[in-house]
Structure 1
Amino acid sequence: MILITDGGSTKCDWIAIDKNGKQAVDKIRTKGLNPAIVPEKKLSKTIKKSKELMAIANDVSHVYFYGAGCGTEKPTLILKSILETYFTNAIVEVREDTYAAVRACIDANDEAAVVCILGTGSNCSYFDGNDLHQRVSSLGFILMDDASGNYFGKQLIRDYYFNKMPDTISVAFAHKHNLDADFIKYNLYKQTNPSAYLADHAEFMFINKDSEYISNIITKGIRLFTENMILQYKKELDNGVPVHFAGSIAYFGQDEIKQVAEEYGFKVGNFVRRPIEGLVDYHVKNL
C-alpha cells in the first residue's frame, strides 16, 4: 500500500491506499511534523506514538509526505531519515507542502497556476505545468506568513492587549482563550511550536465574521498577502493564469479573497480546505 501525508505545523493527515486505489484504513491523524521547527526527537516520537501508523508500517511500499518546513534540504533529509526508520520496506519521498497544494488544486496535471497556501503558515508559488517556481524565500512565521493562521492569531492578541477590539468581541475572545500574559509568553517563548499556538486563535475570526472589525482584519491580511506574494507573479496573472487556494484560512475566507481579487484584478480558481483529498485523487490516477 502507499501512504500519503498532508503534513502541517499543527497536524498531519495520513491516508493509506491499496493497490486498487481504495482507502485501506481509516484516515490517521497525528500532531504536526514540521521538521524546520519541531526537534528531531519529537518528530520521531510523534510517529512512533501512533498505533495506527505502526500497525501498517511493514505493509507500506511508498510514503509520499508533503509537509510544511520541507522546502529546504536539511530538515527534509532529517524527516526522510526518520520516516525510513519506521517504514523500512517503503520508498520515502518528502516534498514541501506547496506541491501538495498544487496537486490538490489544479484541474489538470499540466495546468499553469499560481497556488497559495493559507493555513497555519502561508506561501505562494507559480506552477508552470511542470515545475514549481517561488520568487520569495520564506523566512518563517516571525517575518512573513501574511494572512496565515498565525498572522491572524497574532493580530487578534495584539488588538486585545492594545484595547483595539470592540467590547463585545473582546469579551468573547477572552472567554474562548486564555489571555493571561504569562500563559501567552510561555507558549510563544518556551514551547516548541509557537506558530501553531498563534494559529489556534484564528478560528475565532470565522465564527465572528459578522463583525465589521473581524471582516476588516481578514481583508487587510489578504491584501497584504496579495501585495507581498501573489503580485510577485503579475506577468503570469496578466496572462489569465488562475490563482488557487489551499488551507482552512483560505477556505473560510473565500468571500474576502474574492473581494480582494476583484480589487487587484486577478482570477480566483479553486479553494481546497484539506489538500489530502486532492492528493489521494492524484496518486490514485498515477498508481
Structure 2
Amino acid sequence: MILIADSGSSKTDWRGIDRDGNVSQFRGVGFNPYYQTPEEMATELNDEFLLNLKEEVVAIYYYGAGCSTPENKTGVATALGNLFGNATIKIEHDLLAAARATCGHEEGIACILGTGSNSCDYDGEEIVDSRPSPGFILGDEGGGTYIGKRFLQDFIHDEMPAALKRKVSERFQLTAQVIQDNVYRKPFPGRYMASFCRFITEHVADPYCYLLYYNSFQDFFKKHVMRYKGYKEKPVSFVGSVAFYNSDILRKAARDMQVKVHLILESPIAGLTLYHKNNP
C-alpha cells in the first residue's frame, strides 16, 4: 500500500491506495514543522486510521506546509518514520501538491489559499519559480490567517459595521482581551485567526465582508501571481478552502487584475491520488 498525505496548518487529508487500486481516506489534524517538533508531530500521528495501516504501508508521499527546507523535511520524515518503519518516505512541499493536482503535466501557475497562502510557476514537471512565503506575520496575503487578522484588527479598532460587530461578539463572546489571549498566549494563533473566515463567508452579502475578501485576494495577486513572467497567458489554479468557498469573489478579483483562473479545488488530494495512481 502507498499512503498520500496533503497537510496544511489546519488539517491533513490522507489517502491509502492498496495493490488492487482501492482507496481509503481519512482527515486528521494539520502539521507545520515551523511550529511543531518531530516529537509533537509523532504524537498527533497516533490515530486509529494510521495505526491500522502501519504494517501495510511501503511508500509515503507526504506534501506539507512548511516542507520547503531540508531541516523541516527531515523533521517530518522522522515523525513519520517512527510510525511507518517499513516505508520509503518522500517529503515534498505543499506547492508541488497544488501544481500536480491542478496542472498534472501541463504548465501553469498553481496557488494555495487556505489557512496560509503560497504560489508557484510550474512547467508541467517541476516548479520553476516561486514567491517568498514568510508566514502569517510577514505574509500569507489572501489566506485565512491574513483575512482573519484584518477582521480582528477592525474589531478591536471599531472599524467594522456596528451590526456585524454585535453579531460576532454574541457568537464568539469576543472581546479585545479574548483575541489577544488567543493570539499571544495560546498555541496556533494562525489557526485561530483563520477560523473567523467561516463567519466572514457566511456574511459575505455584507459589503464589508465582501471587500475584505476582494481586497485580500487582490493583495495576493499583486504579491504573487503578477510577479511571474507571462502570468496573463498562463492558466492560474487554486487549492484551499478560502479560495473554494469564496470562488465567485476570487474570480471577480482575478478578472479585474487580468488573471485567467482555471481550476479552484477545495483540496488537492483527489488530484494527487490520480497522479500517483498513474505515476506509481
What TM-score do the two structures reach when normalised by structure 1? 0.93
Distance 1:40 1:189, change over 3 A: farther
Deviations 1:216-273 (A, max 9, x none): 111100111111111111x3224x1110011010111211221122212121110111
Q: Secondary structure at the match of 1:126?
A: strand
* Alpha-carbon distance between aligned partners in 1 of 2:208 and 2:177, rounded to the nearest angstrom: 26
Q: How far off is 1:113 after superposition?
A: 0.3
Alignment of structure 1 residues 152-163 onto 2, 5 Å = 152-163=147-158
Q: Is the CA contact (8 Å cut-off) linking 1:35 and 1:69 kept in structure 2?
A: yes
Q: Partner residue of 2:35?
A: 37
1:206 to 180, 201, 205: 201
Structure 1: how far apart are the matches of 2:76 and 2:124? 27
Q: Distance in 2 between matches of 1:184 and 1:261?
A: 32
The Cα shift of 1:30 comes to: 1.9
Of residues 65, 68, 75, the one that matches 2:65 is 68
- Are residues 1:237 and 2:237 paired? no
Q: Which 5+ residue runs of structure 2 have no aligned equivalent?
A: none
Give 1:126's aligned residue: 121
Match of 2:2 in 1: 2
Q: Secondary structure at the match of 1:134?
A: strand
Whether 1:16 aligns to 2:13 is no
**3-state SS, counterpart of residue 137 of structure 1:** coil
What percentage of aligned pairs have identical amino acids?
Answer: 32
RMSD: 1.4
- 1:103 maps to which residue? 100
1:252 to 245, 248, 256: 245
**Matches of 1:60 and 1:105, distance apart in 2:** 26
The answer for unaligned runs of 5 or more in structure 1 is none
Report the residue type matching 1:261 in the other structure.
A
Any runs of at least 4 consecutive aligned residues in structure 1 with deviations exceeding 4 A, and if so which?
none
Where does residue 149 of structure 1 map in the other structure?
A: 144
Aligned match for 1:219, one of 211, 214, 218: 214
- Write the distance in 2 (CA, Å) between the matches of 1:254 and 1:151: 17
Shift of 1:174: 1.6
Q: Cα deviations across residues 143-163 of structure 1 (Å, max 9, x unaligned)?
A: 000010001111111111111
2:55 aligns with 58
